[in-house]
Chains A and B, each alone.
Chain A
Amino acid sequence: MMMGNVGLLDFLSVGERVEGHVPWPRYRLDIRQWRALVEQLSTAEWSLMAEWAEPGEVHAALRDEETAEIAVASHPCLDGRFLSLGAARPAAIRPERAIFDLWGLAPMGLEDQRPWLDHGRWPHLHPQAAHPRPPAEAPYVYPFLTAEGEGLHQIPVGPVHAGIIEPGHFRFHCQGEVVVRLEERLGYVHKGIHGLLMGKSPEQAARIAGRVSGDSTVAYALAFARAVEAATGCLVPPRAHWLRGLMAEMERIANHVIDIGAICNDAAFAIMLSHMGVLRERILRANQTLFGHRLLMDCVIPGGIARDIDPEGLALMPILLRTLRKDFNRAVKLYNETPSLLDRTTGTGHVSGSLVHRFGAGGFVGRASGRAHDCRRSPGYPPYDDLDMAVIESLEGDVNARIEVRIAEVRASLLLISQVLADLPRGPVTAALPARGGEGMAVAESFRGEVMAWVRLDDRGRVERAHLHDPSWFQWPLLEAAIEGNIVADFPLCNKSFNCSYSGHDL
């Protein structure tokens, strides 16, 4: 096989190219070629974008970090097994455990064989497989990893938490106040999205895609719509692209501001949360006026957007932007000039750059530790190709760095919105979606990071298979690393500074 410095597409082209996969190619690899891929991954600068399956076949979306090439490698699992990517790409460990739970395809060589999304409570084992098996006799007892030593104790937390947040279980091993090991157990909000999407029209499926993680509804709807548009060859009018960009940036700002406030609140500095809550409410009300939904759910649809922007709301945007900028700057000044707050955030919850690169973590978690990836830039998509946009990066990797990156991103998004409003093209906002088959794939940068959507439509244009990948898959494991050596009381701070999605991860 080829070794050394070879490009992703060159390498995969030994496999059988699958026709009709747009815009990036998909290659089907036999068992020998898949094994070579696993070997190549240990040296190549290729990051894993997502890993998922369908009955009898496993898929891995990969990006070549040097050439920015993107491709999907597929491997038919003839005997229900496939060689795990987990050893070469630790980010693949949890997706592969989920693949076994959902499709029954066994990752060979994967060290961690514990179930992940399956808690032993489903009516079938491997519910997405061609032939699901009868259910488990009783809910599983999950064997948590252990830590041994004098004076160690455990703190179990969740799935029902003290605050108003999503459910998940955290198992802490502590020595006194210091966290020796944190282990997450997720899957509590698994809703069977893969099964729900099958057989739906693109419009119906987009509604579900927009509810995989409600805080990123625009990004999910956008990624899914773009995947469907790629599969069907639908050309979206320019105005729709630009207004989608406007929605995505509104969503980004709304999430960033409230999270910055909430992190400070977890350091017992409540005035920031109050202040940011007011800013967020202004944005949500503007969303309601502009597009008819506070969180912009169901506003992005395959083929365009659900309705054109409200002209009266549009006229008020300059005032909104001005007051947002002013009040946001006031809050940032407060943050920067409160040493007791900075003392809590600086140096807390550190994630190293090497870990971020090994996991291919995106979003502000990656960018705050020196991985300057933003899919609005690479591979890029409209309208960002025509806008001035900087990718914000820090090397510090602590809670403060993640806040700083998000502060800069809010400012960048405000500038992007100004550009969108200044050059908003005229014309229609939807295009008819051709009712035809095909495979499509797309990415969209949510406030949290890169959301990937993959879809296969049948000849009538209905969803045959689809997968939606949340950036949290590659960020959750880093939280376990970030908290190590910190005190238990700083966990809320660290957790909120990541703000991973439970729902998006559990699907």
Chain B
Amino acid sequence: MIPPIARMIFHHLTRGPRTERRLPPPDLDGSEELARALGERVRQRLGRSLSIREVDAGSCNGCELEIHAVNSPIYDLERFGIRFVASPRHADVLLVTGPVSRNMAEALKRTYDATPEPKWVVALGDCGRDGGCFAGSDAVLGGVHEVVPVDLHIPGCPPSPSQILAGLLALLDGVSKEPAVTSS
């Protein structure tokens, strides 16, 4: 009898990967915002490789669900050289979600301080920009920029995986106007 795992692997071998080939163009607004933050010299140093540390600073966990989706085989973020790492010490980029609850502010600052230079901060979701629907509460600071400097916003509540990809590709491309992805 053929074990189920062999069946599944065979299935993938014969039918090819499920990964989405149509890709969103890099977010142009994001590119311009980033051009200020990301010099050509730095881009050369990093090449096309980015390590991201995700920090939930009070999100409703909706953004985390869509970040997980970007890691799924459908969007397969790692094929662009972008990967999520387990420690800020390994990261180039902090991807921060949430309106920044007061109880998380210090943890966010300390995570930022633990990230080696050069480093960038991407605020993900409407809460990360200005607190979103939690703005006005005494228990939140209202946006990632209240605690650490932000280089790029990816809007949405939550942003779709395509929007997240577009934003991160903009981050990779920086000032370069080359197309981010050539179709495989």
Contacts and interface: CB of A to CB of B under 8 A. Distances in A.
Interface of A: 117, 119, 121-124, 127, 139, 159-160, 162-167, 187-193, 195-196, 207-208, 211-215, 217, 258, 271, 274-275, 277-278, 280-281, 284, 294-295, 297, 330, 333-334, 337-338, 501-503, 506
B62 A297 contact: yes
A294 B75 CA distance: 15
B171 interface: no
A139 B106 contact: yes
B101 to A, nearest CB: 5
Nearest to B70: A164
A475 to B, nearest CB: 15
A306 to B, nearest CB: 14
Given A208-B134, A295-B66, 5 more contacts: A122-B139, A124-B138, A196-B134, A278-B72, A280-B72
B107 A164 contact: no
A250 B74 CA distance: 19
Given A215-B61, A277-B72, A294-B66, A208 B84 contact: no
Interface of B: 3-5, 7-9, 18, 54-69, 71-74, 84, 86-88, 98-99, 101-107, 111, 133-134, 136-140, 157-158, 160
B84 A334 contact: no
B69 A121 contact: no
A119 B139 contact: no
A189 B59 contact: yes
A280 B61 contact: no
A189 B138 contact: no
A506 B61 CA distance: 12
B8 A295 contact: no
Nearest to A158: B107
Nearest to A220: B60
Nearest to B132: A211
B102 A196 contact: no
Given A189-B98, A271-B8, A274-B72, A195 B138 contact: yes
5 contacts: A160-B111, A162-B87, A167-B56, A214-B65, A295-B62
A contact patch SS: loop
Would you list the 9 A-B pairs with minimal beta carbon distance, nearest first?
A214-B62, A277-B72, A192-B139, A192-B137, A162-B86, A214-B60, A211-B60, A334-B4, A121-B102
Nearest to A277: B72
Contacts of A193: 137
A503 B107 contact: no
Contacts of B103: 117, 119, 121, 187-190, 506
A278 B73 contact: yes
A334 B62 CA distance: 29
A164 B134 contact: no
B133 A208 contact: yes
Contact of A192 (B56, B73, B88, B138): B138
B140 A277 contact: no
Contacts of B98: 189
A366 to B, nearest CB: 21
Contact of A214 (B4, B63, B88, B102): B63
Contact of B101 (A162, A189, A281, A338): A189
Nearest to A123: B138
Interface centre among A166, A212, A333 (most CB of B within 10 A): A166
B64 A127 contact: no
Given A213-B61, A295-B65, A196 B104 contact: no
Contacts of B54: 164
Given A166-B59, A281-B72, A196 B105 contact: no
A117 B61 CA distance: 18
Contact of B160 (A165, A191, A294, A502): A294
Nearest to A254: B65
Nearest to A281: B74
Contact of A160 (B73, B107, B139, B140): B107
Contacts of A258: 68
A166 B66 contact: no
B68 A213 contact: no
A192 B139 CA distance: 5
B69 A280 contact: yes
B56 A165 contact: yes
Nearest to B7: A330
A288 B35 CA distance: 33
Nearest to A333: B4
Contact of A213 (B55, B60, B63, B137): B60
Given A191-B101, A278-B74, A295-B158, A334 B60 contact: no
Contacts of B4: 330, 333-334, 337-338
A187 B103 CA distance: 7
B68 A121 contact: no
A166 B72 contact: no
A95 B63 CA distance: 27
A392 to B, nearest CB: 23
Contacts of A284: 69
A13 B59 CA distance: 42
A122 B136 CA distance: 14
Contact of B105 (A117, A121, A297): A121
Contacts of B60: 211-214, 217, 503
B137 A195 contact: yes
Contacts of B84: 164
B140 A192 contact: yes
A145 B65 CA distance: 33
Interface centre among A164, A189, A193 (most CB of B within 10 A): A164
A166 B61 contact: yes
Contact of A189 (B58, B63, B65, B66): B58
B63 to A, nearest CB: 7
Nearest to A195: B137
A117 B67 CA distance: 27
Contact of B62 (A163, A187, A217): A217
Contacts of B158: 214, 295
Contact of B73 (A121, A122, A163, A274): A274
Contact of A188 (B71, B88, B101, B134): B101
B64 A165 contact: yes
A193 B132 CA distance: 13
A191 B140 contact: yes
A275 to B, nearest CB: 7
